[in-house]
Structure 1
Amino acid sequence: MIYFKRLIIIILILNACQTPGLLTIEGSITNSLTEVSAAELDLNTDIVWVIQDAGNSNNLFGLNLKGHIERNVDISNVKNIDWEDLTSDKLGNIYIGDFGNNSKKRKTFRILKVKNDDLNKTNAVAEIIEFTLPKDIHSKDFEAFFLYNNFFYIISKETKKFIVLKVPNEIGTHEAVLRSDFNLKGKNNKITSADISSDGNIVVLLNHDKLWKLSGFESDDFFSGQIEELPFKHNTQKEGICFKTNSKVILTDERDGIEGGNIYTFDIN
């Protein structure tokens, strides 16, 4: 009888660490952050940087993998118009994509650069990269981007065909270049976050119930190679993804009642 009780306890503990499907829960994000909208791993630690989207404070939060806040950086010179995604460079500088546009009325979009040296402080002043859309492109909503060869690739949030814009990583104002457009197969294809592996060989695009793994592409023609759809068998409002290793990603989702509000890992191989 004692043996079976212990066995039941062990099973309950193991199940508490798993979600349905292939996702593994690493931690529960602190209740004070309900609308986590991105994820980016710190350069030299296991800190996961996150933000909250429109209507929330202009703060960059550093979480440990259990979901507890270890760093809190107030970006003092900007307002959170609609922060949506994060990326970083090889020096550990963090970039905030302030390009959400639910109303489809924005004409100017921003990427905010927070220097690595400021990530251990409580306050920071961001450098600002602004961009406008190409002249023949109507205003769109963006929630995903990544940095590759010192250019940002910014992906629109569309039900069907989406566009990829290219913007240089240079302080100032730029007119974005239309790099490509593409239509992923299937349903529920709105892209909410993106990242590229440290070796530059794999791009991941996030949706609430799946990700797409892009590999074998040539230069920055990211859809020229193999495109794999990897389902989670788990559907919540997932809006943050970043690489932990070249074969494993970290994901975050928003909290909705008793669902979500977690940090997950997912093996893409």
Structure 2
Amino acid sequence: MNKLTLVFLLIMGQACAQKTYLSELNPLSKFPSELKEVSGMEIAADGNIWVIEDSGNKDKVYKVDRDCEEKESLKIDHAKNRDWEDLTKDINGNLYIGDFGNNKNARKDLVIYKIPKEEMGKKEPNADKIEFKYPQQKYFPPKKDSLYFDTEGFFHLNDYLYIFTKNRTRPYTGKTLIYRVPDKKGEYEAEFLGTLFLCADQDHCSVTSADISPNGNTIALLSYGFVFLLTDFSAPDFTKSSIKIIDLNTNTQVESVCFVDNKTLLIADEENNHGGRNLYELKLD
């Protein structure tokens, strides 16, 4: 038995041991036609929802209500939408945009834009740059078996931004790499925290968004059709988390997740041939 076969069998064995729970998304509303590619969401201080779109779209953050009716939009100064992939906030109300989409694993200009709370009332708020690189990445792009450095999910916790990479490896390994960077302006080498095996299906097990519950007890990692709920962890080590897999029973391109409260998620999908451009609610047990 060669090494590659052994690795594949180990991954499949782990996948078979993981129980999957079937759930149903509750549709809330449909985004306006100009928001076809919502890639990140976060709850605003007033209970509305901040959203962004990914590459090819405007350098703007939009606020919508639960009916997806647009309330305002902010043009972010000093922030270019190379590939905005997720939103998060801290307990002080500062908003963070993850410009770290990296489909080909070739970028050397990864950045998180921090919009201070006091800037959010302006029409064109200024953003601070948190620039970073992955210490494990030596080639741009790396070989196909090392395509770990696309990113679409992160969240804020205790003065750090925690990053979960999107796996594009071939053959597919089912792992996401976990990093963190400080939440302050600067240039950083991201701190590598370890790897997390999610599952072995390359169509459903790569992270497209992330968030942590308000009480800090549950992490939600969204993928195409699944949500992975992580519990029983002690930050910054998430590698030994208990993982519950929820099958969302959808074939649309779900790209955004955020917690409303400790037991409720909002999820959004992009528009594609299967539908999409919707906002959903998911109640957790």
Q: TM-score, normalized by length of structure 1?
A: 0.88
In structure 2, how many angstroms separate the alpha carbons of the residues matched to 1:97 and 1:207? Answer: 17
Distance 1:256 1:79, change over 3 A: same
1:131-165 C-alpha deviation (Å, 9 max, x unpaired): 11115555521111011111111111115222011
1:25-71 C-alpha deviation (Å, 9 max, x unpaired): 1111011111110111113x221111111111100011111111111
Number of residue pairs the alignment of both structures matches: 249
1:61-111 C-alpha deviation (Å, 9 max, x unpaired): 111111111110001212111110000001111100000111211123101
In structure 2, how many angstroms separate the alpha carbons of the residues matched to 1:219 and 1:258? Answer: 38
Structure 1 partner of 2:41: 39
Instruction: Give, as a single letter, the amino acid of the residue that structure 2 aligns with 1:36.
Output: V
Equivalent of 1:199, from 215, 221, 237?
A: 215
Instruction: Give, as a single letter, the amino acid of the residue that structure 1 aligns with 2:186.
Output: G
User: Residue 53 of structure 2 aligns to a residue in which SS?
Assistant: coil
Structure 1 partner of 2:175: 161
1:43-192 to 2 correspondences below 5 Å = 43=45, 45-135=46-136, 140-158=149-167, 159=172, 160-187=174-201, 188-192=204-208
Structure 2 partner of 1:14: none
Alpha-carbon RMSD across the aligned residues, in angstroms, is 1.7
Distance 1:193 1:138, change over 3 A: farther
In structure 1, how many angstroms separate the alpha carbons of the residues matched to 2:103 and 2:137? Answer: 20
Equivalent of 1:226, from 236, 242, 248?
A: 242
Instruction: Give, as a single letter, the amino acid of the residue that structure 1 aligns with 2:277.
Output: G
Structure 1 unpaired stretches of 5+: 1-19
Tell whether the 8 Å contact from 2:64 to 2:72 is kept in structure 1 after alignment: yes
Tell whether the 8 Å contact from 1:216 to 1:226 is kept in structure 2 after alignment: yes
Q: Runs in 1 of length 4+ with deviation above 6 angstroms?
A: none
Tell whether the 8 Å contact from 1:59 to 1:73 is kept in structure 2 after alignment: yes
User: Residue 55 of structure 2 aligns to a residue in which SS?
Assistant: coil
In structure 2, how many angstroms separate the alpha carbons of the residues matched to 1:71 and 1:119? Answer: 11
Structure 2 unpaired stretches of 5+: 1-21, 141-148
Tell whether the 8 Å contact from 1:131 to 1:176 is kept in structure 2 after alignment: yes
Distance 1:136 1:35, change over 3 A: closer
